Amino acid sequence: ELVVQFQVLNQSCQCLAWKPRLVGVWGAESQHVVAGYSDGTIRVFSVSRTEMELKMHPHSAALTAITYSTDGEMILSGGKDGLVAVSSPRTGMTIHVLADHKGSPITVLQCTRKQYHDFGVEGGELWLATSSDRRVSVWASDWLQDKCELLDWLSFPAPADPEGLDLPPSLAAFCPWEQGALVYVGFGMQEEALFYSLRKKQVVRRVSLPAFATSLSLSPAAPFMALGFRARLLRLQPCPAGDPQDYAGHDDTVHLCRFAPSGRRLLTASHSAVLVWELTG
């Protein structure tokens, strides 16, 4: 059932994220959602109070990606122009604007916790930004100390862009079961998923795919990744090796895959359908 609805007139919502739950608070549910809009604004909504709590305008272009830092103290947002903004939901101020991906729309922003000096840099958090030109930047941050340091910069090769072809998105995610690794899919020389080691600074494994993926999610509970494709196909791929399982049932391109935090359910979406899958065993 529909529980609550927020409407913003004359703007399209391009991306959204739940505020992370507080670690160590038993039963605490996140009650805040941040959403990015086509006019460059960000709005924070309180679900429990059913109201908008904050509106910020850190971008001049439409937003294409948004996420909270792992502690929920910062909002990272990316725009169609490739700029990444870091804003405080407490003060409503934008404290960083990063132009490293300028000129190419941001497709993914993701944060993960890390220990100090894991990679010889200071910071309590790693985060990545991916842009549609097949580039991924990885950062180490300590938001309380106002530190934000570039840790790695990846550029994935591809054939010359075919004229008029709708290219698949560039997608990357930190690997929950393989420390210091990230997974990348996108238009490239081969139809594959690449495992990149931040420690070795190189691709350490390649997984062949039936086509270029249009969506990606890594299970937080088991070494599995879910991949969506244009041919209405959903694939569950065990890692590092194993036989994939393919599922039909979508009416169009599978443009979203998202594991639940427990890893027991998977949500997928296509043009006019949202499917929820139960993962057994």
Q: Tens of pLDDT along 165-191?
A: 788 999 999 999 988 899 999 999 999
pLDDT digits (tens, 9 = 90+) for 212-245: 999 999 999 999 999 999 999 999 999 988 899 9
Tokens (6 digits) for 18: 């739940």
The domain over range 156-280 is classified in CATH as 2.130.10.10: yes
pTM of the model: 0.92
Closest CA to 259 of 140, 154, 136, 177: 177
The dihedral of CA 151, 34, 167, 182: what is its sign? positive
- Would the pLDDT of 102 be above 70? yes
Torsion angle of C-alpha atoms 57, 61, 63, 68, degrees rounded to 10:
-40
Peptide bond into 240 cis (omega under 30): yes
Cβ contact 187:209 at 8 Å: no
What distances in angstroms separate CA 39 from CA 62, 98, 175, 189, one per listed residue?
5, 19, 33, 35
Lowest mean pLDDT among 62-66, 80-84, 162-166: 162-166
Expressed in angstroms, the distance from the first to the final Cα of the chain is 28
Number of residues written out for the chain? 281
